[in-house]
Amino acid sequence: MNVTFNTNSLNNKRYNLNNQIKVQSFTANPSIAAAEEVLAKASNTESGFFKPFTDAYNNMTDTIADKFTSKLVDLKGLNWLADKLKNSSNLYQHCMTIGSVITSGLYMQRTLANKEFDKDRKNPLAVNQGLTFGVSTIGAYTLDKYAKGWWDNVTARFAGHLLGDNKFYNEYLKQKEEIIKENKKIKAEARINNTKPELKSLPKATKLVEKHPYYQSLLKNSEKDAKVLMTKVKGMSPLRAMIVFGFVYRYFVPVVVTKPANMLCEKYLAHKKNKQTSNNKA
């Protein structure tokens, strides 16, 4: 190993000649290299204490993969659904929405099925629950759509960090800007010609990472590390949806929406009661 570092900007020929500065150098000591190797090995091996647990967990997940998940992957219905939804850019968001439809539906069903509950109250309350869910879901999708543009930039920035390339982000922005400009032109032309515009798709950080020389080098030298890097970049997309939907469902709705919704519900019930009383009097 031979490493030579010149770590300041004064390292120019003129300065060196005038000051007879020595060029820094480092020749690796074989014992240090050996120690580094041992440390690297040690960091990759599992602790003896946890080994029985990790082995048992691995065996369990192997069995699940072999006996259950691999069969689930082959299900015709699931494959049909994947084929139909493969072009959806919001597939993960739809999955989350289905999950909350099930939960909210359960609560609504329980409200409606409750025999000991006033009929006058349970219908509006179930509608209130349903409306709150519907409005917040629309809100979550809208917020997610608006956050996407900014989050894509953040993803490119994050990818730049992973690749150790701070030009990556600027290049991404440049490409994005160019495509946005082109799309504007296409839209304007389509408006004049009264045709449907064929817009170009915006650059994706994952696609740019795939073409990056550092990623290509990783693929050649260590496929596992390349996969980890790509998983991190891909993880940014579900992370956005999780934050947006989580914020709407778990924070905004309980804190901000529920109180006014319940107040409206109470007002409606009071109004209905008053109306009934006046009708009865008449």
Task: Look up residue 41 and give its amino acid.
Answer: K
- Please count the residues of this chain forming the interface with other proteins, following the rule CB under 8 A: 99
Q: What is residue 7's DSSP assignment?
A: -
Is residue 146 within 8 A of residue 167, CB to CB? The reply is no
Instruction: Give 116 or 198: the residue with its C-beta nearer to other proteins.
Output: 116
Asked if 29 interacts with other proteins (CB under 8 A), we say no
Cα separation, 243 vs 254, whole angstroms: 16
Alpha-carbon dihedral sign for residues 228, 229, 230, 232: positive
Helix (H, G, I), strand (E, B) or coil at 26: strand
Closer Cβ to other proteins, 74 or 193, answer by number = 74
Q: Indicate the residue among 83 and 198 with the shorter CB distance to other proteins.
A: 83
For the bound state, the minimum distance from the C-beta of residue 276 to other proteins, rounded and expressed in Å, comes to 19
In the complex with other proteins, which residue's Cβ is closer, 92 or 190?
Answer: 92
- Name residues contacting other proteins, limited to 225-254 (CB under 8 A): 225, 227-228, 231-236, 238-239, 242-243, 245-247, 249-251, 253-254
Site for other proteins in 43-72 (CB under 8 A): 57, 60-62, 64-66, 68-72
Instruction: Work out which of 21, 54, 55, 103 binds other proteins, going by CB under 8 A.
Output: 103
Site stretch for other proteins (CB under 8 A), options 6-14, 45-53, 175-183, 186-194: 6-14
Whole-number Å distance between alpha carbons of 66 and 26: 52
Q: Which residues contact 85 (CB under 8 A, 6 or more apart)?
A: 91, 94
CB of 31 to other proteins, least distance (A): 17
> Smaller CB distance to other proteins: residue 42 or 102?
102
Interface characters, 130-149, with other proteins (x: CB under 8 A): --xx--x-------------
Give the Cβ contact number of residue 159 at 10 Å.
24
The reply to whether 164 sits near other proteins by the rule CB under 8 A is yes
Which contacts of 228-234 are long-range, i.e. CB under 8 A and separated by 24 or more positions? 229/162, 229/163, 230/206, 232/158, 232/162, 233/155, 233/158, 233/159, 233/162, 233/205, 233/206, 233/209, 234/206
